Amino acid sequence: MFKILKYSFFDLMRSRWSYVYFAFYLALGFVLLFLNNDVNKAIITLMNIIIVLTPLIGTIFGVMYYYNSKEFTELLLAQPMKRSTIFMGQYLGIAISLTLSLVLGLGIPFLLYGLLKSTAIFDFSLLLVVGSFLNFIFVALAFNIALSNENKIKGFGYAILLWLFLAVIYDGVFLISLVMFNEYPLDKLALTATMFNPIDLSRILILLKLDISALLGYTGAVFKRFFGTNLGLITSLFILFLWVVLPVWRINRKLRKKDF
């Protein structure tokens, strides 16, 4: 698995898209720090970009890599190797390479700006942790979609639809539900609905750490009231971890039944 992981990692590192992805975050970090003298404000702006863009890139890269390396994967499957070993190596290679581009792209400008001497170092670290979680989550979801759809067009369509639903539509439907049923106690529903969307959960996790009540919104305020700041952070991280584990478990389950 380590050999396949290494191959997938360096294969993506040689791809020009990895450099474009890295250069985008590098330029974004420098521009935000140039426009904002306050690191905390730059982190809030980054949060709004990362929680939307990172899932999109992870989903597209995951689906694209699966379909483009399908012939090579079939060649590996002809060898005396476990299916889970092959696909877990590819999955980790993609997720780690995307995470590295994110961490280095944002880390370099902030380090040059003097992040180590700033009080915002822990907030920035949490932002990178959340971005890394989103990479691992959405690459795993992308693999699930690709394994379930042999047709490339369908696979890409479902992947974009998944991102669109979790990033945009989910919040809209949830907001309409809150307005329509505002006479009923919806605290538990709000908590449950938040846990079923890793993007919303990531946003609340960062805002809990920054302790910006005005930006928390209804679900964030409920989350803070139920769990408090510290317990809320731990709970959010644990649920994000489950969001990684469950899709990976489904990949392995799907591999046992799939006929290649």
pLDDT tens figures, 24-50: 899 988 888 888 777 777 787 888 888
pLDDT tens figures, 63-90: 988 888 888 777 877 777 787 888 888 8
Predicted pLDDT at 260: 59
Residue type, 134: L
Q: How far apart are CA 138 and CA 168, in angstroms?
A: 15
What CA–CA distances, in Å, run from 139 to 115, 153, 173, 230, 255? Answer: 29, 18, 25, 28, 16
CA nearest neighbour of 216 among 196, 244, 236: 236
DSSP of 226-258: HHHHHHHHHHHHHHHHHHHHHHHHHHHHHHHH-
pTM value is 0.88
Task: Judge contact between 195 and 96, C-beta under 8 A.
Answer: no
Q: List the domain range (segments joined by +) for residue 75.
A: 2-257
CA nearest neighbour of 102 among 205, 11, 201, 29: 29
Instruction: Tally the domains of the chain.
Output: 1
pLDDT tens figures, 99-151: 998 999 988 888 888 777 777 788 888 889 999 999 999 999 999 999 888 88
pLDDT tens figures, 190-249: 777 788 889 988 887 777 776 655 455 555 566 666 655 677 778 888 999 999 999 999
Q: How far apart are CA 98 and CA 78, in angstroms?
A: 28
Give the residue carrying structure tokens 């890139």. 57
Q: How far apart are CA 188 and CA 59, in angstroms?
A: 30
Predicted pLDDT at 217: 57
pLDDT tens figures, 139-192: 999 999 998 888 889 999 999 999 999 988 887 887 787 778 777 776 777 777
